[in-house]
């Protein structure tokens, strides 16, 4: 009876839920988003290395690096790689969208970068004004002179007031090139790719003779679609500047990105992600691919925020650090593979008696260390296996909930923004993304997985053993 119910529910999921989900995941926009974001991955990982080098978690070493001047060098390298993930995303998404439509993709990628920069104010507030308002200058002068200095800008001479109120122009605000500009970068990249493709399909291009080299003719071909897109971007910038007294990136950040990051960085968000990844996998669909497409932009923005706070030595929840980041997703919810199946590996190597579990357990050991568990998912199998469904669903939920709580309550520090590759083995990845306390907690999650999987694996092993003895007779 239970098998029939499971089969009926499985049929319902596969016939009613999966088709629209897969249709959405395979749309041009989601495909471009997923594959376009990958172009930022090398810069994120390389930038993370510079972030670690500039913030070695040993005070004596860290102080020596900063005193020597290398801290500033590492910060420069990090700021021009990791902290520009929004810019890389805008380029990559438009590039992939147009490439998938079989048009030359470099020009629209660069057009997207130009639009991304055009839609933001190329200025920053006067840093001296911010320092006065925050009391930094006042406090420093007081410490040196022993006399209190007013930080009330209104009482300063008019010439100095005008200087402080005037923004610094002719600069690019790097705030929007990184995580804070991520949602705007995605929107711009998708719109540029879509509009560019429509114009190309409509034939609104300058056609050059066949004798003209492709490197030259491609640029003339791109001139009209790029010109239309950039002219439209200019008009949008002008409209926001005139009527909203802001810019497009600021508006997107405040109306969309902050709420979306808030949802992703919540207990409910952690639980939802922890449930949906194994849910899709259980029915044979790549849960990591689906959830990665949906939540990666917000989680990467959370990662970028934490990386900035870590570099500024302000990585605390009180200072705005996020709990749920891309590394929370990769190195906890998907630790040792979707479903956190390390506990199942431990059982198969230590206590399994059936030939099937022992042989597949040996096969899965090395991939499992590097967070790959397809041999279990399809070889054991876990997919559509009701006897292993409970631990497969429950383990990520327990780990997601407990990890959220230990970070939120301050038992372990927030994740530092370092982007450890998802194949980094457990405990090592914990140390890289959060220090020794996080490494210890990550080891605890391995024990949690073992405790949850053990009784279910033992029961399943007995069933397989009985079947093997029956077949041997």
Residue range 76-80: mean pLDDT, rounded: 93
* 323 closest CA partner among 402, 391, 385: 402
**Residue 375, pLDDT score:** 87
pLDDT category at 286 given cuts 50, 70, 90 is confident
pLDDT category at 432 given cuts 50, 70, 90 is very high
- Using only C-alpha atoms, the chain has a radius of gyration, in whole angstroms, of 27
**Residue 122, pLDDT score:** 86
Quote the tokens at residue 386. 């009701």
**Residue 144, pLDDT score:** 43
Tell me how far apart the alpha carbons of residues 314 and 309 are, in angstroms, rounded to a whole number. 5
**Residue 7, pLDDT score:** 56
Tell me how far apart the alpha carbons of residues 378 and 88 are, in angstroms, rounded to a whole number. 35
Length in residues, the chain: 473
pLDDT in tens, 396-410: 999 999 999 999 999
**Residue 410, pLDDT score:** 94
Would the pLDDT of 182 be above 70? Answer: yes
Report residue 124: phi and psi, to 5°.
Answer: -135, 155
Least confident span in 17-31, 198-212, 254-268, 419-433: 17-31
pLDDT averaged over the chain? 87
Torsion (CA) 228, 231, 236, 239 in degrees, nearest 10: -140
Would the pLDDT of 330 be above 60? Answer: yes
Tell me how far apart the alpha carbons of residues 87 and 80 are, in angstroms, rounded to a whole number. 10
Report residue 110: phi and psi, to 5°.
Answer: -70, -35
pLDDT category at 316 given cuts 50, 70, 90 is very high
Would the pLDDT of 66 be above 70? Answer: yes
**Residue 220, pLDDT score:** 86
Distances 43 to 34, 140, 298 between C-alpha atoms, Å: 16, 37, 18
pLDDT in tens, 123-140: 877 666 655 555 544 444
pLDDT category at 116 given cuts 50, 70, 90 is very high
Residue range 64-75: mean pLDDT, rounded: 92
């Amino acid at each position: 009876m239970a098998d029939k119910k499971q089969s009926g529910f499985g049929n319902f999921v596969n016939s009613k839920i999966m088709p629209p989900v897969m249709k959405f995941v395979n749309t041009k926009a989601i495909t471009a988003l997923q594959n376009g974001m990958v172009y930022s991955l090398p810069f994120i990982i390389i930038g993370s290395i510079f972030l670690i080098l500039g913030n070695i978690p040993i005070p004596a070493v860290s102080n020596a690096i900063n005193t020597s001047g290398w801290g500033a060098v590492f910060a420069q390298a990090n700021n021009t790689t990791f902290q520009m993930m929004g810019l890389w995303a805008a380029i990559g998404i438009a590039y992939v969208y147009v490439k998938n439509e079989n048009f030359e993709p470099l020009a629209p990628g660069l057009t997207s970068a130009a639009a991304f920069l055009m839609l933001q104010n190329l200025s920053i507030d006067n840093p001296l004004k911010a320092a006065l308002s925050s009391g930094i200058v006042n406090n420093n002068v007081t410490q040196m002179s022993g006399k209190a200095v007013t930080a009330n800008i209104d009482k300063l001479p008019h010439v100095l007031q005008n200087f402080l109120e005037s923004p610094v122009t002719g600069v690019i605000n790097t705030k929007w090139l990184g995580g804070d500009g991520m949602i705007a970068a995605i929107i711009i990249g998708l719109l540029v790719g879509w509009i560019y493709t429509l114009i190309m399909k409509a034939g609104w291009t300058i056609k050059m003779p066949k004798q003209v080299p492709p490197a030259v003719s491609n640029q003339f071909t791109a001139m009209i679609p790029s010109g239309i897109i950039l002219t439209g971007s200019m008009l949008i910038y002008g409209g926001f500047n005139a009527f909203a007294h802001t810019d497009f990136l600021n508006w997107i950040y405040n109306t969309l990105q902050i709420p979306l990051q808030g949802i992703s960085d919540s207990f409910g968000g952690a639980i939802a992600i922890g449930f949906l990844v194994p849910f899709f996998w259980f029915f044979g669909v790549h849960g990591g691919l689906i959830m990665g497409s949906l939540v990666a932009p917000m989680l990467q923005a959370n990662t970028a925020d934490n990386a900035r706070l870590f570099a500024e030595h302000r990585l605390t929840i009180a200072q705005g650090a996020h709990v749920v980041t891309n590394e929370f997703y990769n190195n906890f919810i998907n630790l040792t593979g979707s479903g956190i199946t390390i506990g199942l590996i431990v059982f198969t190597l230590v206590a399994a008696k059936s030939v099937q579990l022992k042989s597949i357990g040996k096969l899965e050991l090395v991939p499992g260390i590097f967070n790959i568990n397809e041999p279990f998912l399809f070889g054991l199998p876990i997919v559509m296996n009701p006897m292993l469904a409970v631990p497969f669903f429950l383990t990520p939920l327990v780990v997601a909930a407990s990890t959220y709580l230990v970070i939120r309550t301050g038992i372990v520090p927030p994740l530092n923004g370092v982007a450890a590759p998802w194949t980094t083995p457990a405990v090592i990845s914990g140390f890289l993304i959060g220090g020794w306390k996080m490494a210890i907690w990550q080891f605890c999650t391995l024990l949690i997985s073992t405790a949850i999987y053990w009784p279910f694996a033992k029961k399943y092993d007995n069933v397989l053993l009985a079947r093997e003895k029956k077949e041997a007779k």
